[in-house]
Amino acid sequence: MPGGAYRIGNDGNAERDKNDGGGFAFDNEGPAHDAPVGDFSIASRAVTNAEYRAFIEDGGYTRAEFWHADGWAIVGEQDWGVPLYWRENADGGWDEFTFAGMCPIYPDAPVGHVSFYEAAAYATWAGERLPTEAEWKIAARRFGCADDSGNDANRMESGFLRPVPAGDARPGRPSQMMGDVWEWTMSTYGPYPGFAAAVGEYNDKFMVNQMVLRCASCATAPSHARVSYRNFFYPHQRWAFSGFRLAD
């Protein structure tokens, strides 16, 4: 994507924001504003279980040079070594706990249940970085990924509550931007320029020490599966369906 000033944020216009919930938005999704970015590239899909396993097998959880200091402290304190719900099986492979119980991991499915610290460590190990919140939304809006992501954004209704492989991505167009995992960004969660808290909402109370996630996961209600939706978690949390894609 070429650099420039891009309009992001839901402004309540039902036609212009038809991919953003038909004009509906929570207060933290607006106001619409121009976000300046430099030239950037973003991965066509999320990082997979097999790719993340290569990070593990290369000593990713034992090499401090990949980690933020706070993340490295938690790795030691909580004995992290794999994503939250992975368990090694008797054959030396990996299973993960799902809503259907323990199941073998799909090697080509997005890795999930990782924290921001793990996502950032992997990105450093890979020589890349996480996208910013603005970059993620610009790419999703530019390529129409809310409508045509390559995956079903309504997995909650389908009953298939587990990330799956991306399939055949279209050349030059990102996939999996809806319906598999919430995707960590490198952006801290804070107000957009001109933000004013709406009566009865609470999002402003959480605008400290948290990181923004974008997308919609396999367990996201369809009403929340829109490009402008802003999710947020503390950087150490990994119980959610949280994964990531790379950028540079």
Q: What's the pLDDT at 157? A: 58
Q: Which residues contact 170 (CB under 8 A, 6 or more apart)?
A: 150
Angle between helices 69-78 and 116-125 (to 10 degrees): 110
Domain ranges for the chain, please list them: 49-124
**How far apart, in whole angstroms, are the C-alpha atoms of residue 183 and residue 212?**
8
Q: What's the pLDDT at 14? A: 45
Residue 182's nearest CA partner among 216, 229, 151 is: 216
**Around Cβ 80, how many Cβ atoms within 10 Å?**
19
Using an 8 Å Cβ cutoff, are 46 and 183 in contact? yes
Q: What's the pLDDT at 162? A: 86
Q: What's the pLDDT at 145? A: 61
Angle between helices 49-57 and 116-125 (to 10 degrees): 70
- pLDDT per residue of the chain (248 residues) written in tens, 0 to 9: 999 999 998 876 544 444 554 567 899 999 999 999 999 999 999 999 999 999 999 999 999 999 999 999 999 999 999 999 999 999 989 999 998 899 999 999 999 999 999 999 999 999 999 999 999 999 988 876 644 333 444 455 566 688 888 766 566 678 888 889 999 999 999 999 999 998 888 899 999 999 999 988 988 887 788 888 999 999 999 999 999 999 99
pTM attached to this predicted model: 0.91
Strands (E), 99-148: 101-104
Using an 8 Å Cβ cutoff, are 185 and 131 in contact? yes
